Every structure is written in C-alpha cells, then in structure tokens.
Amino acid sequence: MAAAAAGGERARPDPAEQRAELGPLLATALRPGESWYLVESRWFKQWKKYVGFDSWDMFGSGDPNLFPGPVDNAGLFPGPIDNSGLFGDPESQSLKEHLIDELDYVLVPTEAWNKLVAWYGCIDGQQPIVRKVVEYGLFVKHYKVEVYLLELKLCESSDPSNVISCHFSKADTVATIEKEMRKLFNIPAEKETRLWNRYMSNTYEQLSKLDSTVQDSGLYQGQVVLIEVKNEDGTWPGHHCLAKGSGFVCNSYNCRDTASLSQPGLCGLSNLGNTCFMNSALQCLSNTPPLTDYFLEDKYEAEINQNNPLGMRGEIAEAYADLIKQMWSGRQSHVAPRMFKTQVGRFAPQFSGYQQQDSQELLAFLLDGLHEDLNRVKKKPYLELKDANGRPDSEVAKEAWENHRLRNDSIIVDIFHGLFKSTLVCPKCSKVSVTFDPFCYLTLPLPLRRDRLMEVTLVYADPQRRPVQYRVVVPMMGAISDLCESLSKLSGVPAENMVVTDVYNHRFHKIFQMDEGLNHIMPKDDIFVYEVCKPSEDGSEYVTLSIYFREKTMRQSSNTSGTVLFGQPLLISVPKHRLTVDHLYSVVLEQISRYVKLPLAEEYSPCPDRGTCNGSNGVVEGDIEEMEHQDSGEEGKEKLTEADPCHSEGCMQVESARDLQPCKKQHFTFSLVNSSGTSEINSIVEGKILKLNAFAAVAIDWDSETRRLLYDEQEAQAFEKHGSMLQPQKKKAVVALRDCIELFTTMETLGEHDPWYCPNCKKHQQATKKFDLWSLPRILVVHLKRFSYSRYWRDKLDTVVEFPIRGLNMSEFVCDPRAGSYVYDLIAVSNHYGAMGVGHYTAYAKNKMNDKWYYFDDSSVSVASEDQIVTKAAYVLFYQRRNSEEHSAPSAPQEECDGMDTN
C-alpha cells in the first residue's frame, strides 16, 4: 500500500505506542500564545477507536461477536487527516459557522498535531487549521483557543470604497492592525497615520491606544477600520468625513442624529456579531419598569459598591446605566452597545467572543453582576446555617430571608428575589430536611415528549427497487431495535434482516448494534437502513461487507490523493464459502444493476480469457491489482441453492446469472480499505476464498471514463417517498404554563449519581425531593428549559407553552399560608428561533410609557399585538406583580422586617 504521507507509514508506531505518546499531549493545559490545531471529530474518533484510546474502545473487553466491525482493528485505520467536514467553502477552506467544540472538532496542541501528520499525513490540498490560545477576563484569567477570528474591513480615508477584509485575533493589538494596513495600502513607515473605527453609517471613533487589544478596543465582527495619512503640510485630510459638529465623535453609544425624537424606550440595539442573545435580554430588562426607573432617576449612584470582592468595581452597573439612559433618551432609534459588551466580556469571559450564546445565561450573569455592584452591604457577616429541626415553616422561612438580606441587599434583591422551600425525605430513616433558599428566576422543566419522529431511508436487498424514505415513530429513549420494529411494520421487511447505519460523505460513519440507544442519532444524521441476508438455521455462514464507490484519478501522487469516494455505500451479504473475487464482482454488479447500465454486447458475452482480468486504466501507479478469476461452476451454484438464508420476500440471493456468464471486461477493481474508505489496508489478492471479517470495507474502484459512461448519477440518487412522509404531521401538543409549574413542584427521587447525605444515617441516600414556592418577587422571571444536553444529544424542545398575557395567578402555588395575592401581568418575553447553538433571539416587550407592545429584533423596533406573543419561540418570560406595594417579606409582619416588595 502506498503511504498516506511521505515516510508516514515507515514512521508510524503501533497503536499502543501512539496512545501512550499522544495521551499526555492531549491533556496539556492551555498557555497564552501557543498554537493549537483543529481536527474534525469524526476523523479523531476513528483514530481513537483504532488505537483503543478509551477503555470502551479496547477490543479485548466485551464480546467481540457483539462488535459490528472486525475483531482486529485493521478496518478501523483512520487514513490521512480529513478536515473537509469543517469547511463551509472547500475552495477557500473557511470554517463553517457555529461549530461546537468536541461535537464538530477536537483541539490538539502543536506537538500532537505534528505527530499525527507524520503518522497519517493530510488529505491532499488541505491546509492545517491552526489557532492561537488567547487570554480573557480581568480578575480571573481564562484561556481558550480562539477558533473564530474576527473579520475587520480595512480601507483608506482617501478611498473608503476600496475595502479589504482581514482576520485578526482578539488578542492582537491596534498596532498589529496598523502594521497590516500600512502593508496592504503601501503606506511608507515615515508617514504619520491614525486609525478610526466606524460602527454606524456616519460615526467614527479614533483608535488612539496602539497597545490596546482588539477585544479591549471593542471592535466587532465586520467592523470598518479606516486609516488616515497625515498631509505634507501637517494637517489631517479627513475633517470633511470624520468630523461631527466641532470635534471628533468618541462617544461609544453615539449613534446618529435624528431630526425627530422617538418614543423613549423604543430603541433598537445593533447586532455586533452574534449578539442578538444579549440584545434580547437587554430589551427585557430595559422594559422592567422598577429597574429602569431606578437607573433613570440616578438612584444607583449612591449605592455603587466598588469594594465588593464579588462585584465588578461598579463598572457593570455604570455601563448598564449608561446604556439604559441612551435607550430611554428618546433621541436615537437604535444604539450600538459596544462598551457594554466589552465590559461584560472583561468580567465574564464566556461572553467575550462573537459566538452565539444563551440569553438566559447572560441574564443570570447580569442580574448577579448588578446585584453585587449595587449591594448595600459593605461587609458581609458570617452566618451559620441552622437546620429546621421541626420548627414551624414560617419561622424557618423568616430566618432564612433575614439571613439572606444581611448579606444581600440591593435593588435586584428588592425586585427579583423570592424564596423556595426544599423538602428532602430519607427513604431509610424518614428524616425530613426542610430548607429555604432564595432564587432570582424560576427555571421550569417542559413535559418531555415520549415519542420521536425519525426520517430514515430503507435500502432494499432487491437491486431493482429504489430506496424508500420513511418517517417512523420511535420511543424517545428507545434502542435501534425499536427503530427496526417500527420500520418493519411499515415496510414488511423483517426487523432481524435490517442493519442501521449513519452515512456521511459516501461512507459508513457508524454501523449500529441493535441494543444501542437512539439518543446516539442526532436529527441532522443521514440514517440508512439496509435489508441484508442473515445466517440461516442450516448453518450457512454469511458475511456482510461494506461496499464503497471510489473513482481513481490520474494524479501521480499518494494513493489517497488519487481516489475520491462517490455515490451511496452498500451492504452486501455473501456466503463465506463463495467469497471469491470473481463471485464478489458478479454479486456487486447485480446489486448496482439498476443504475450501472452495461452495453448488451458486453453484458452477456462469455469471457474468452479465464486468466487475469483487471480494469486498471486510470488506476494510480502502484495500486494495480491482479485478479485471477476462479470458475465457480455448477457445484457452487448447487450448494448455494440448498441454503436459503433469507426470510425476506424479494431479498437478493447472491446467486447471479453473471456467475455462469461473466462479462469479458471488469469495469471496476477491488481494494480492502479502512472503514472511512480513505486509506487502503491491502490489495485483494486472488485466492480460493477471501478471508474477510464482518462489515469489512471493500472499495470498488472505477476509472473516470468508465464512471462517466456507465454510472447513472441521477438514478443512483433516486428514491421514493413512503406515504408516512406525505401524511401531515400531528399538531404538536400544547402545554400550559401551569403544567410546567406543577412539574417543577412534583416530588422526585434523586438519581443514584446525585444522592443526599442523610445526617441521621450518616451516609448518602437516594432521598425524595420536593420544591415548593414560599414567596414570589415583584418581577417574576420564568425560564422555560427548552435546551437539553448530554454526551451524545443536544436538543431544543419546541413545544408551544401557553402562558397568560395578563392575570397569571400564582397564589395557588405559594405554600406560605399567610401569603397575600400573587397575580402577575406579562411585561416582556425573550424569544429563541432555530436550533440549539444557532438560531436567532428577539424580544417582545411592553413600553411603560404607553402600555403598548413592541417587537425588538436587534436594531429594528416595530409595533406588536398581544396575539403574536405566545409562540413556540418563547424562552424567558418577565411578569410584573399587581399591587406589589401591598405585600411584605415572607411570613413577616410589615413592622418587623424589610419587605421584599417595598420598592
């Protein structure tokens, strides 16, 4: 076999050595300035399987008969590193948007990358994807690999229409940008220059600090940076386009002059590059009347706590106040929240980049940050927690709330904090533990769907039948066997004759076992189910092979670069005692006969030469295979007829007319390849019987001309749709908000991995746990838990939750018997459209000046009606309590303690 890279095969250690060498390197800690490389997850997982990197990948453990591939790991050989799945544009090799670490790619340090390249090489023409480790955070240093660089649009002040796009790291300095611009626009070193960023159509800000980083300067994705060269007479040329009024514009939020004043609060927020999540959360908070009034009336100034070690020196509060004043000034139709985003990124590194984030996570950070910046408690006392020990709930709740207020006293606590009651009961000794804990928002679970719809394509064993696409209903937490049973009912093909596969880039990414969970299959996976023959009761053994289509190119380079996969892979079952090259050729030819049309003269003419026969024109040098055909004869046919291994009607018998009348020329040759089809293990050499393991991958190699003449691309891709695909899908069940609240307050048993330590039993127990609501705040923030995460599954629940616009009565859910009325009206909603990790955020909010609803979509603000608000996109709900000034703190007479709702 030709090596994947020059010298690659000679230098490659055995799998155990590779595992030992790379293990410590992959555990290396990130250090600023170092380079790390992106490797597509699919290739990396294949490598890990090949070397047995994880304990569950070691073939010695478990029953090899259950493993869907060869017991030896030769078929798992990963071949050259292939990052093609990460590229949005194969030509420019630019990354796809919204790639997720571990799910789509793996990061490896330089030394590990160099070793992998030395051992396996890279796909021909692919450039390495290398990125730098950068530092985030102001107080707590946080390092991460900057996968997505920031694109800036560079131009000269003398010719602003000539824009050149360049990518920079957020750790690069303004001086780096200037140096690059001098080079791009041929500006001599002796010429004095200055840089300006443009963040609205006619607003510029000077980038005067050359040592400031791109991140600290607040530059964002797609921003225009302009370079200005000083005139010979010592003046600057740009006054006509850069000046605004009497001086230069340096106000971060200054947007544009508007002749007519807009309604206060109806102010859009510019998208700075995937910042719609932030804009949505900010619009909800901006339209929370008690909080906005607090900032507009400058009450925050006297309460800023610059010395709180848990706070942010008052900078988040000041940045938020500045933004709110801009939004409620009535002078702008939209503003760019650049400095606010920069400040958030300094204190919360997870929000510092320009990748899509979660509006609820930002909201949680912001409420906590504002609370600590505005905490009226300058020195927090140490308080010892006391157990309830059978005391009345009202007494324990009052004590918990007062203790909370001794350490936490701010406008955020006044407005947003309520109290949970948590009850744990030990199943062994019946010990009851009651605690009361403050909360800032309610995270409500959504009733989970029990079933899941999956779209799969069934490939029949009958070669003349086109594949058929089905839509099947399977249990949400079911197994592959459930999928097969469901498909069997619709198709008539026995479930035991099905093999379920995930097809990706013309190859089998995974062949599933019957007992594997369906949670391994994600919605975007292309699932193909193949009808295959299984061993019969009389003992005839069949082996099922993976068949890949490959086209050989004429390039005289490495073996891998000379082949390209195409078409839909096949699974073919062949009796072990008939597994010869000649028989395999006839079986494959029969199976592909629907879309590979042979000339009649060739199809039935006997082969005059029973010796060697190879279709090697176009085969890469060094890869020509001699195929000495064995005459299978009548004896083999009789043996085959005796065994009837298949129970499916119309299931392809491997006997073929072509066994007796072989064609005079072979149109393709065979190679034994790895499971990705990217690298050959060895050539298939003629022998009486080929020794191949179950699901071994065999490539059928075509030269370009034969493929063009005989392979019907359109028919090969053709499929039919079953009636299940055409039936209208059931209308999704509608869930009421009260259902979510009831689910939240339902008693549950703790999982075995999340036990509770019982102080009586002196050990961990799987206790029962129940949450109740003891008291609720003035502003009730409800977070609908639409996103679910697991190792294999990331999903968004798009259930419609019916929630009232006005008159949400929470009184029945409050367990404090002395509580007053808790009736709420909706004031804002944060919406999320699309799938998890991508999509778009917007907001609905009610303006406090005119009580009308508006739709906020980044910089756009439009009038909305109440009937538009309840949708499946609703993610975070903001409710304001009616007559809140009448209600006091939990179970405490008004004269005795600070009320929760007095502000």
Which residues does the annotation mark as catalytic? 276, 840
Beta pairing class for 823-833 and 874-881: antiparallel
Q: Which tokens sit at 514?
A: 């019957």
The conformation of residue 136, written as its DSSP 8-state character, comes to: E
From the CB of residue 46, how many other CB atoms can be counted at a distance below 10 Å?
A: 20
**Nearest residue to 784 via CA among 815, 824, 743, 751:** 743
Beta pairing class for 720-721 and 734-736: unpaired
Are 434 and 396 in contact by the 8 Å Cβ rule? The answer is yes
Q: Which residues contact 127 (CB under 8 A, 6 or more apart)?
A: 93
Write phi, then psi, for 433 (nearest 5 degrees): -115, 120
**Nearest residue to 621 via CA among 562, 543, 671:** 562
Are 123 and 561 in contact by the 8 Å Cβ rule? The answer is yes
CA atoms within 13 A on the CB side of 636: 21
Question: Three-class SS of residue 876?
Answer: strand
Q: Where are the alpha helices (DSSP H) in 297-410?
A: 315-327, 338-347, 359-373, 393-407
Identify the residue whose tokens are 């406008």: 411
Report helix angle 359-373 to 276-286, nearest 10. Answer: 50
In sequence order, what E strands does 638-761 have?
A: 669-673, 680-683, 697-703, 720-721, 734-736, 748-749, 756-758
State the amino acid at position 252 in one-letter form: S
Are 598 and 667 in contact by the 8 Å Cβ rule? The answer is yes
Task: Assign residue 218 a region (left: φ > 0; alpha: ψ between -120 and 50; beta: otherwise).
Answer: left
Question: Three-class SS of residue 641?
Answer: helix
Q: Could you give the CA distance from residue 614 to residue 622 in angstroms, rounded to a whole number?
A: 14
What is the gyration radius of the CA atoms in the chain, in angstroms? Answer: 34
Q: Which tokens sit at 823?
A: 């009736």
Q: Which residues contact 816 (CB under 8 A, 6 or more apart)?
A: 393, 394, 397, 774, 775, 890, 891
Q: What is the 3-state secondary structure (H, E, C) of 137-173?
A: CCCCCEEEECCCCEEEEEEECCEEEEEEEEEECCCCE
Q: Could you give the CA distance from residue 168 to residue 519 in angstroms, rounded to a whole number?
A: 39
Are 100 and 7 in contact by the 8 Å Cβ rule? The answer is no
Write phi, then psi, for 235 (nearest 5 degrees): -95, 165
From the CB of residue 694, how many other CB atoms can be counted at a distance below 10 Å?
A: 18
- Lay out the sheet containing 498-504: strands in order across: 507-511, 498-504, 527-531, 451-459, 468-475, 720-721
Number of H helices, E strands in the chain: 22, 44
Are 507 and 676 in contact by the 8 Å Cβ rule? The answer is yes
Write phi, then psi, for 200 (nearest 5 degrees): -140, 180
Q: Is 290 exposed, middle or buried (0-12, 13-18, 19+ CB in 10 A)?
A: middle
Write phi, then psi, for 802 (nearest 5 degrees): -80, 120
From the CB of residue 364, how many other CB atoms can be counted at a distance below 10 Å?
A: 18
Q: Which residues contact 137 (CB under 8 A, 6 or more apart)?
A: 346, 347, 349, 352
Beta pairing class for 853-857 and 860-863: antiparallel
Q: Could you give the CA distance from residue 388 to residue 396 in angstroms, rounded to a whole number?
A: 6
